[in-house]
Structure 1
Amino acid sequence: MADNQSSNLPPLDVLYIHQRKIKNTSLVGGKLEAQICPYSGWAIGQRIKLWIGSADNEREGEYLSPEVSVVEKDKGLKVYFAADLLRKYNHRKISLGYNVNGGKLSSKVILDVDIS
């Protein structure tokens, strides 16, 4: 379950979506691509763990494995959500986020899912 208190981390920058909706055309190679932009305190070696959950029910969600690590100081980090995972939330609103080094959940992005 996600921590209900958000940190000061910026939300994910989700790529290839239109009108806040994930569609088949949003997926590249069977995945939804997003980017975590560098923020104050961004450092090489920080561990990032992605979050996906129902936008309507905070208890319905999960942190994803494996963690990824920041590898470049001045560049963002590309991350991916598999289509199979997104299909669990098809025709619903989801929230996407992440935490750093096991801390609080970032600001969340709320999107509709409509994929086949």
Structure 2
Amino acid sequence: MPTEVLVRVEAVGLNPLEARLRAGEFPLLGAPPFVLGWDVSGVVEESLSWRFRPGDEVFGMPLFPRAANAYAELVAAPPHCTWRSSRPRSRTSRPRRCPSSA
């Protein structure tokens, strides 16, 4: 697509349904091989859209309801399914964990 955003994946959302898809319980994606993953978070590598620049932190659900291949290193996403992160850029790209509720 001429407006896609290429995102280097840093984190993905894991959904319990994905294990069932991988096991073949639902024929949603057809026969393997396929790459799972819907929720993606990462950094823009390249952008053909005016909305994003390389280095922007973004998140989204590209191609939903189809799988976005979020388990891959790079994901090409349409800009209308991708949003800029509002949090400040961190000094590290290590995965972040949610604080414990206990």
Q: TM-score, normalised by structure 2?
A: 0.25
Q: TM-score, normalised by structure 1?
A: 0.23
Please state which structure has a larger fraction of its residues in helix. Answer: 2
Please state which structure has a larger fraction of its residues in strand. Answer: 1
Structure (1 or 2) with the larger CA radius of gyration: 2
